[in-house]
């Protein structure tokens, strides 16, 4: 079967964008696997987990960091990921990720890295800035980890031999970078190999690829957004979800509701959330036409209803996991760790062999 791999950063409780853009898609692959154990559906090797090394790029105190990993892991179980079918792992528990990162650093060009957008957005320099023309202050702020972040992400993907990486739109350039590193590594160290050492992965972009902030619908919904009411957490109670959606920024355009992400980003975002939450894959303009005669308030109420419905069981399960002892989470982690560890070890040993390093 094909290998599917993806991680999420433990920088807080996952939000509706993480859920619709990633977590729910991970779960739907798992549903395929459960079906296949009953004779239908497809078989996949599934590995999902927590990118705690990546989250070191965000400064957090020790307690917050620990709590966030626990909350994020509970969220994975709460959305329905099941250690029987999905190997659930924590990145830092598998040292081969970091080791492969170093080896890949020897084929990763700093030119390519400096064109990636993430480090620029994190240190707030313009998107056409390059490493060379950064001012002194920006250089001080730009830590090496934020710059080399995509190399670690590529190592995550490549060490698990992923065929597919289900992600939202913002991660696509990182998966492309991983493809490039796999190719560059194979060309440099494994030309003479019949089967490439590292597999070139592909991004699987979720239909809900970019859920926007409720307060500034021109920006994506993001865990680091401090704006009040901008983000719906998957564990928000119903009244909180209703309040946030009720206050979502829309526009003052009168007349029928239309789907127009440029002129009416707030309304478009609400339509997107509605359509994706109920898993309607029709074209967004056609979808919106059914609701053209509704008021903005009625649309918001509709969106709130489906989101509350969708997240009810997630929240319930999350609360119960957080309230119980760590046993269930611990068991799930240990189980996933074994499988993920075995696959990481085997890839790294082939990598070392190709490079000409001595394997113990």
Positions in the binding site for ligand TYM (CB under 6 A): 6-9, 17-18, 21-22, 51, 54, 153, 156-157, 165, 167-168, 170-171, 174, 208-211, 220-221
Interacting residues of 265 by C-beta distance below 8 A, sequence separation 6+: 212, 217, 218
Instruction: Give phi and psi for 104, each to the nearest 5.
Output: -65, -25
Name which of 36 and 261 has its Cβ closer to ligand TYM: 261
Q: Which is nearer to ligand TYM, 35 or 219 (CB)?
A: 219
Catalytic-residue membership of 27 = no
Give the number of C-alpha atoms closer than 13 A to the C-alpha of residue 219, restricted to the C-beta side: 15
Of 71, 120, 199, 223, the catalytic one is: 223
Least distance to ligand TYM from the beta carbon of 47, Å? 10
Shortest Cβ contact with ligand TYM: which residue? 21
CB of 358: closest distance to ligand TYM in angstroms? 29
Kindly report the number of other CB atoms within 10 A of residue 256's CB atom.
Answer: 11
**Between residues 165 and 299, which has the closer beta carbon with respect to ligand TYM?**
165
Residue with Cβ nearer ligand TYM (183 or 289): 183
How many residues belong to the chain? 360
Q: Is the separation of the CB atoms in 9 and 62 below 8 Å? A: no
The 3-state secondary structure of 100-169 reads HHHHHCCCCCHHHHHHCHHHHHHCCCCCCCCHHHCCHHHHHHCCHHHHHHHHHHHHHHHHCCCCEEEECH
Q: One of 122, 143, 249, 289 is an active-site residue; which one?
A: 122
Nearer to ligand TYM, 65 or 289 (CB): 65
- What minimum distance in Å lies between the beta carbon of 51 and ligand TYM? 4
E strand segments, the chain: 2-8, 44-50, 86-90, 164-167, 202-205
How far apart are CB 40 and ligand TYM at their closest, in Å?
Answer: 27
Q: Nearer to ligand TYM by C-beta: 287 or 289?
A: 287
Per annotation, catalytic residue among 71, 120, 199, 220: 220
State the CB neighbour count (10 A cutoff) for residue 41. 14
CB of 58 or CB of 294, closer to ligand TYM? 58
Instruction: Write down the least CB distance from residue 135 to ligand TYM, Å.
Output: 26
**CB-side exposure of 151: number of CA atoms within 13 Å?**
24
The CA distance from 43 to 259, in Å, is 37
User: Does 191 participate in catalysis according to the annotation?
Assistant: no
Collapse the DSSP code of 178 into the 3-class scheme (helix H, G, I; strand E, B; otherwise coil) and give the result: helix
Instruction: Examine the residue annotation and report whether 223 is marked as an active-site residue of this protein.
Output: yes
Q: How far apart are CA 145 and CA 215, in angstroms?
A: 30
Residue 293 CB, nearest approach to ligand TYM (Å): 29
Q: How far apart are the first and last CA of the chain?
A: 30
Beta-carbon contacts of 137 under 8 Å, excluding residues fewer than 6 positions away, are none
Rounded CA Rg of the chain = 21
Active-site residue list: 122, 220, 223
């Amino acid at each position: 079967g094909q290998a599917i791999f993806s991680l999420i950063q433990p920088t807080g409780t996952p939000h509706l964008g993480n859920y619709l853009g990633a977590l729910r898609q991970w779960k739907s692959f798992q549903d395929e696997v459960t079906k296949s154990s009953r004779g239908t559906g497809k078989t996949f090797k599934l590995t999902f987990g927590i990118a705690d090394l990546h989250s070191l790029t965000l400064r957090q105190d020790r307690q917050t960091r620990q709590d966030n990993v626990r909350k994020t892991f509970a969220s994975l179980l709460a959305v329905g990921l099941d250690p029987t079918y999905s190997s659930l792992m924590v990145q830092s528990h598998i040292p081969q990720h970091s080791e492969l990162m170093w080896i890949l650093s020897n084929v990763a060009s700093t030119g390519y890295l400096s064109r990636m957008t993430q480090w620029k957005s994190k240190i707030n320099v313009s998107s056409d800035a390059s490493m060379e023309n950064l001012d002194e202050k920006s250089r001080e702020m730009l830590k090496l980890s934020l710059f080399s972040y995509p190399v670690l992400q590529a190592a995550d993907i490549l060490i698990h031999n992923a065929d597919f990486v289900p992600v939202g739109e913002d991660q696509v350039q990182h998966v492309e970078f991983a493809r490039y590193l796999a190719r560059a590594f194979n060309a440099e160290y494994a030309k003479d190999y019949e089967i490439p050492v590292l597999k070139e992965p592909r991004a699987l972009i979720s239909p809900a690829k970019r859920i926007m902030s409720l307060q500034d619908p021109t920006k994506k919904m993001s865990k680091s957004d401090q704006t009040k009411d901008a983000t719906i957490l998957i564990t928000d109670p119903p009244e909180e979800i209703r309040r946030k959606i009720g206050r979502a920024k829309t526009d003052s355009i009168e007349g029928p509701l239309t789907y127009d992400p440029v002129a009416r980003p707030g309304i478009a975002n609400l339509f997107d959330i509605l359509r994706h939450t109920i898993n309607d894959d029709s074209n967004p303009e056609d979808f919106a036409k059914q609701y053209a005669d509704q008021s903005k308030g009625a649309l918001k109420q509709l969106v709130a209803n489906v989101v509350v419905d969708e997240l009810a069981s997630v929240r319930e399960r999350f609360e119960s996991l957080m309230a119980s002892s760590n046993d269930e989470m611990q068991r799930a982690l240990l189980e996933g760790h074994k499988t993920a560890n075995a696959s990481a070890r085997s890839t790294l040993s082939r990598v070392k062999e190709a490079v000409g390093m001595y394997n113990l």
